[in-house]
């Protein structure tokens, strides 16, 4: 680990990845069906996605956000069929 990395702030990114509205969501449809079978009949729709928490070191919030955005667009989300949102905050101390 470099000296700059050791002195950088530890950030927590909370990332939500969901399918784009035009993409069919078979997992969401399965969950909806199961909810109806369990008599949760007021549920009208379900879209499944994923939630990730990533901790990273960066000099400031803008640098952390830029890094998380790059992670999402290259690995964590498929930009053809998924969209993502995230927020970045200073990681809580353990």
Of 15 and 1, the structure prediction assigns the larger pLDDT to 15
Neighbours of 55 (CB within 10 A): 11
pLDDT for the residue 94: 73
Question: Taking Cα atoms as reference points, which of 52, 57, 67, 62 lies closest to residue 15?
Answer: 52
Instruction: Determine the pLDDT at residue 5.
Output: 58
Res 6: pLDDT: 65
Quick one: fold of 3-90? Mth169; Chain: A , (3.30.1280)
The pLDDT of residue 1: 55
Q: What is the pLDDT of residues 35-72, one digit of tens each?
A: 999 999 999 999 999 999 999 999 999 999 999 999 99
């Amino acid at each position: 680990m470099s000296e700059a990395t050791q002195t950088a702030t530890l950030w927590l990114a909370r990332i939500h990845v969901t399918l784009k509205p035009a993409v069919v969501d078979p997992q969401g449809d399965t969950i909806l069906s199961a909810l109806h079978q369990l008599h949760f009949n007021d549920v009208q729709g379900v879209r499944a996605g994923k939630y990730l928490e990533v901790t990273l070191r960066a000099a400031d919030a803008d640098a952390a956000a830029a890094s998380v955005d790059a992670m999402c667009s290259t690995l964590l989300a498929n930009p053809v069929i998924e969209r993502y949102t995230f927020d970045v905050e200073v990681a809580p101390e353990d």
